[in-house]
Amino acid sequence: MSFNSDRRKALKKFALFWASSPLLQGQFGPREGHQRVPSLDEIANVLEFEPVARAKMKQIDYDYVAGAVEGEYSLKRNRRAFDWVSITPRGMTHVESIDTSVVLLGQRMEYPLLVDPSSGHERLHPGGEPETRRGASAAETPMVVSNQAGFPIDQIAKAAKGPIWQQLYIHRNREAARERVVRATDAGCGAICLTVDAQYSSLRERLRHDRHLTMRSKNTLPNRRSRRRRGASTTNRRQKTVYGTRPESPDETWEFFETLRSWTDLPLLAKGLLTAEDAELAVKYGVEAIVVSNHGARYLEYTPSTIEVLPEIVDAVGGRIPVLIDSGFRRGDDVFKALAIGADAVLVGRPPLWGLGAFGAAGVERVLRMLQAELVLAMAHTGCARISDINRSLIKMSFP
């Protein structure tokens, strides 16, 4: 009896050891767990789109989208910080009909939600940005098109109806930037959004690890000629031999908004602010709206999450211009929290990309519709029939 039980124990131990062994796991393909890709209807929330998109992507492309700067501390903090804000329910209110529409920069939107600018849509779907735009428009959501889009702005604009804005980088070539602004204006864009947090490239460790997957990764190993063209200083050159980082627009200052103003009458946004001081400067230089953003944690490591700095920025701006926010938003409840603190709208970066990679335009649409539906539910449970009913009394913040 005791011999049998010892034997059973030993066998069980061995089986457990073997089951957890990397040797055994090595026998499964990397897509273990994704043998049957779920259909669009089976996906329960926005986060569940990521593994589906991942299963269809090359590792280097997945890492490009998922990755962030250095050790990805800020990336995790962007999500964790939402746990530090709780929502207070309010029952027994009139919530028969819930109106989520807002007017932002003179433009009516069905929801205070926009698609963030992001590059590399073709890495996820051959239809690229026009495909994303079709999905965004189907979900009545404005799209901000990246400076680095793979398709020309007029083609993206024509792909569907609905508001579209242009994001801008300067990258030293001001004439190219001016032409982009003119083309965006001609294509019917409703605003120009200048990104102010990417004056140097950043260290994306995932991409460094992936260098062996391509002959040369553009993000990590720029060639000498492009470095010289950008006029890098000796110090910068030395840094680059170690990490491949480089200056992108090191001479861009707030005065540049005056130049930008001379190029277009469209509303101007500054994207990438994390302090009340910078918000003040944006107002001073005539910027029409700001986007509180840490670029999805892709540039400077150890920044705070955006939801943590939102209160001080909203208070500093004091309603003079709209305050938009992004970085880490994955739930309609997250959107509700930002609106309660005082944001005017929220942008989402990676989620529509996951939708695009997983199911094309239909995936983009579903991702946005899920966020909208969750926002409506949060409003219903807090007694908010209109966006303007959402306020700070409905949340509790306990940031460390």
Ligand X SMILES: Cc1cc2nc3c(=O)[nH]c(=O)nc-3n(C[C@H](O)[C@H](O)[C@H](O)COP(=O)(O)O)c2cc1C
CB-based burial, 155-164: b 16+ in 10 Å, e otherwise: ebbebbebbb
Choice among 121, 125, 295, 381 that is catalytic: 295
Least Å distance between CB 366 and ligand X?
17
Q: Is 388 in the site for ligand X (CB under 6 A)?
A: no
Q: Report the alpha-carbon distance of residue 164 to residue 137 in Å, rounded.
A: 9
Least Å distance between CB 271 and ligand X?
6
Binding mask 205-224 for ligand X (x = CB under 6 A): --------------------
Q: Is 338 in the site for ligand X (CB under 6 A)?
A: no
In order of 3, 224, 227, the CA distances from 238 in angstroms are: 68, 12, 11
Q: Report the alpha-carbon distance of residue 289 to residue 299 in Å, rounded.
A: 21
Q: Are 140 and 162 in contact (CB under 8 A)?
A: yes
According to CB under 6 A, which residues from 341 to 370 bind ligand X? 348-350
Is 94 catalytic? The answer is: no
Residue number with CB closer to ligand X (134 or 350): 350
According to CB under 6 A, which residues from 256 to 285 bind ligand X? 271
Element (H, E) at 314: helix 306-317
Given 137, 217, 220, 293, the residue binding ligand X (CB under 6 A):
293
Q: Is 142 in the site for ligand X (CB under 6 A)?
A: no
Given 100, 132, 137, 167, the residue binding ligand X (CB under 6 A):
167
Which residue in 386, 348, 364 sits closest to 114, CA to CA? 348
Residue number with CB closer to ligand X (296 or 363): 296
Element (H, E) at 12: helix 2-19
**What sign has the CA pseudo-torsion 68, 69, 73, 75?**
negative
Q: Is 165 in the site for ligand X (CB under 6 A)?
A: no
Q: Which residues contribute to the site for ligand X (CB under 6 A)?
A: 64-65, 78, 116-120, 146-148, 167, 195, 271, 293, 295-296, 298, 326-329, 348-350
Which residues belong to the active site? 295
